[in-house]
């Protein structure tokens, strides 16, 4: 009885979590140029708008470029750091790990203001390196937590065995360690991609007319114009992140320990 | 590493005469790139914010004096804290039964329930906020239903604190469910029947046995939701109104609109200090809690 009541309650929560977002899908096929729900008629005009508008396409391209580069940098640096943290047994280890994870809890707006100020001086505002550096800072913690989780399940004797058979450190890493922690690395990399692809607050501050990512353009469009094209853009970004995250979910499926 | 001592000995022998001492510091090199990146593009910007707050436009504490002496600022701070508290309470009330159900269902159902909680995290906050804008507007479906069923409206939903809290709760709920569940999963299921065997009614058993044991999860989830809630920018900007600004929007406004770097950064330092203070206090009170409540491995 209690269980059934809990079930109904939880089902309602699931509906509240997931259904409201889906409203954006019918809106993107609205034939009327408004945000009124329910939409009137069916039309693909907003998608056509998106794919024929140079500024939207440029934003999409910038976003993909920044996200791929961020993924590469954050994953490389994050995996190295995780390996270092896993191998070290010194007292400041916890502190060091905490230092790398700190960007997860510091309010985005404070970091955004700081980066804006710093980038102003370094002339990095609205540049590709600027975006990649800023996004790497907030993506790397996710790589580190995922890779550290994988490393915890790794039997250190396997690496020792490899070394005893004559493999060097680099060879051992690529032929033993990396394949074993691959699910964690893949998941971390995909999380990094999505984090960068969806990042808004930092991007709003470091944008320039020459370089805007898709979320920045969506935000500007919502606050400054009333163009229903954003509904189509929202659906496209939503599909992108959901597909990437499904792959991440699939990659980690074989792992026993759930990652929160 | 006592259990691996034999294989370790073989490994050392196999590695030849190489000394083991350098192994101790070599892994440190692996940390260097991350350390440099985080120091240059995370710590340095935060230090920059602090320095600006006490030097812009001239050295001194005038920006902090402005912060505490301006009535509008106090109102914004109180509103931000109030909203974050309300959102934390709503998330706790919704997440607790959900997380509890996760501990008593089959593995398959539990995985499904976990998937439902993770799924919203896969969609950007911006897209979800956009969806709430459509739903909550005066001509939106919620007001449409209210008018059709009760003949009232349009009820102002968007551009209200209620709208902001609704959107924030939806986004932050997963951060409450996950730590709650991981804490509840550790509670021995025989304790509740044991309590009722000893004569406690379900309510007493819950409040004296189960609730105290789930406290680490409540703390972790609560702190995460609260501090994330304090710093929200996108949702208040799009679902709130300019009359009901929160701290983040005020910071943005001071810097981007009024070019008052000192005042904006002072607000930023204040927000950062609040976040740190809450984390430190809670990790003291809650011994089991880590500094990173949301990030559990």
Residue range of the domain that includes A209: 22-256
Contact A16 B170 (CB under 8 A): yes
Output B129 or A254, whichever has higher pLDDT: B129
Distance from CA of B194 to the nearest CA of A (A): 19
> Is B235 part of the contact surface with chain A (CB cutoff 8 Å)?
no
pLDDT of residue B208: 87
> For residue A113, what pLDDT is reported?
96
- Dump pLDDT digits (tens) for A72-125: 999 999 999 999 998 877 777 888 889 999 998 899 999 999 999 999 999 999
Per-residue pLDDT tens over the stretch A157-216: 888 888 888 888 888 888 889 999 998 999 999 999 999 999 999 999 999 988 999 999
Q: Residue A130: inside a domain, yes or no?
A: yes
**Which residues of chain B have a pLDDT value below 50?**
1-22, 289, 291-297
Q: At what angle do helices B261-285 and B215-230 cross, to 10 degrees?
A: 180
**Confidence at residue B230, expressed as pLDDT on a 0 to 100 scale:** 94
Q: What is the distance between the terminal CA atoms of chain A, rounded to a whole angstrom? A: 30
pLDDT band (50, 70, 90) for residue A258: very low
Tokens in use for A116? 């804006």
Residues of B within 8 A of A256 (CB-CB) are none
- For residue A90, is it within any domain? yes
User: Mean pLDDT throughout A225-240?
Assistant: 91
Q: Look up the CATH number of the domain holding residue A150.
A: 1.10.3720.10
Do B127 and A237 contact (CB within 8 A), yes or no?
yes
Token pair in block for residue A246: 């499904």
Compute CA A146 distance to the chain's CA centroid, rounded to the nearest angstrom.
13
Pairwise CA distance, residues A187 & A90, whole Å: 28
The pTM of the full predicted model, rounded to 2 decimals, is: 0.88
In a domain, A9, yes or no: no
> Which class for B286: exposed (0-12), middle (13-18), buried (19 or more C-beta within 10 A)?
middle
* Mean pLDDT taken over chain A: 90
The answer to whether A55 faces chain B, any CB pair under 8 Å, is no
Tell me whether residues A137 and B94 touch, CB distance under 8 A: no
**Does the pLDDT value for residue A231 go beyond 60?**
yes
**Domain contains A140:** yes
**Residue B2: predicted pLDDT:** 38
Residue located via tokens 């790397």? A140
Backbone angles phi, psi at B216, to 5 degrees: -55, -40
Scan residues 89-148 of B and list those with Cβ closer than 8 Å to A.
Answer: 94, 97-98, 100-101, 104, 113-128, 130-135, 137, 139-141, 144
Confirm whether A11 is domain-assigned: no
CB of A200 less than 8 A from some CB of B: yes
* Residue A148 is assigned to a structural domain of this protein: yes
pLDDT score, position B271: 96
pLDDT attached to residue A135: 97
Examine residue A123 and state whether it is found in any structural domain, yes or no. yes
Domain count, chain A: 1
Is A200 in Cβ contact with B118 (below 8 Å)?
no
| Contact criterion met (CB < 8 Å) for B272 and A106 | yes
Token pair for B83: 């909203």
Q: So what's the ipTM on this one?
A: 0.89
- Res A159: pLDDT: 85
Pairs of residues, one from chain A and one from chain B, whose beta carbons lie less than 8 Å apart: 273
pLDDT of residue A254: 57
pLDDT at A218: 94
- Predicted pLDDT of residue A48: 93
pLDDT of amino acid B7: 43
Question: Does residue A54 form part of some domain?
Answer: yes
């Amino acid at each position: 009885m209690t269980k059934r009541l809990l079930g109904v309650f939880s089902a309602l929560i699931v509906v509240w979590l997931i259904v409201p977002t889906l409203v954006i899908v019918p809106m993107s096929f609205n034939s009327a140029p408004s945000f009124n729900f329910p939409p009137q008629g069916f039309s693909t005009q907003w998608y056509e708008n998106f794919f024929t508008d140079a500024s939207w396409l440029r934003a999409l391209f910038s976003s993909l470029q920044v996200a791929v580069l961020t993924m590469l940098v954050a994953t490389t640096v994050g995996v190295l750091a995780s390996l270092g943290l896993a191998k070290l047994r010194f007292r400041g280890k916890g502190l060091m790990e905490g230092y790398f994870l700190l960007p997860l809890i510091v309010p985005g707006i404070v970091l955004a203001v700081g980066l804006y100020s710093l980038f102003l001086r370094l002339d990095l505002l609205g540049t590709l390196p600027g975006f990649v550096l800023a996004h790497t800072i907030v993506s790397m913690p996710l790589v580190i937590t995922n890779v550290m989780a994988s490393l915890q399940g790794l039997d250190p004797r396997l690496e020792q065995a490899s070394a005893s058979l004559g493999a060097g450190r680099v060879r051992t890493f690529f032929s033993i360690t990396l394949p074993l922690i691959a699910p964690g690395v893949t998941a971390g990399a995909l999380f990094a991609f999505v984090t960068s692809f969806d990042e808004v607050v930092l991007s709003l501050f470091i944008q320039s007319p020459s370089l805007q990512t898709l979320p920045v353009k969506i935000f500007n469009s919502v606050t400054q114009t009333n163009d229903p094209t954003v509904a189509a853009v929202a659906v496209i970004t939503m599909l992108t992140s959901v597909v990437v995250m499904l792959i991440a979910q699939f990659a980690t499926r074989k792992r026993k320990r759930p990652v929160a | 590493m006592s259990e691996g001592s034999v294989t370790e000995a073989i490994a050392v022998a196999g590695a030849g005469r190489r000394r083991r001492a350098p192994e101790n510091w070599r892994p440190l090199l692996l940390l260097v790139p991350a350390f440099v990146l985080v120091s240059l593009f995370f710590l340095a910007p935060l230090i920059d914010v602090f320095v600006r707050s006490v030097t812009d436009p001239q050295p001194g504490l005038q920006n902090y004096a402005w912060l505490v002496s301006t009535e509008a600022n106090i109102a914004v701070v109180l509103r931000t804290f109030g909203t974050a508290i309300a959102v934390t309470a709503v998330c706790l009330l919704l997440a607790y039964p959900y997380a509890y159900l996760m501990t008593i269902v089959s593995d398959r159902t539990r995985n499904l329930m976990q998937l439902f909680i993770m799924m919203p995290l896969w969609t950007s906050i911006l897209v979800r906020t956009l969806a709430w804008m459509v739903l909550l507007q005066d001509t939106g479906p919620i007001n449409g239903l209210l008018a059709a069923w009760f003949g009232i409206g349009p009820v102002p939903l968007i551009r209200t604190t209620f709208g902001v809290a609704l959107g924030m709760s939806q986004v932050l709920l997963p951060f409450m469910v996950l730590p709650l569940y991981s804490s509840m999963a550790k509670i021995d299921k025989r304790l509740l029947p044991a309590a009722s065997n000893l004569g406690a009614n379900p309510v007493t058993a819950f409040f004296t046995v189960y609730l105290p044991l789930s406290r680490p999860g409540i703390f972790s989830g609560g702190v995460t939701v609260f501090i994330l809630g304090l710093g929200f920018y996108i949702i208040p900007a799009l679902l709130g109104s300019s009359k009901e600004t929160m701290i983040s929007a005020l910071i943005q406004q001071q810097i981007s609109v009024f070019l008052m770097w000192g005042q904006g950064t002072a607000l930023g330092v204040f927000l950062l200090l609040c976040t740190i203070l809450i984390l430190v206090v809670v990790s003291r009170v809650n011994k089991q809690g880590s500094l990173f409540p949301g990030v559990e491995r």
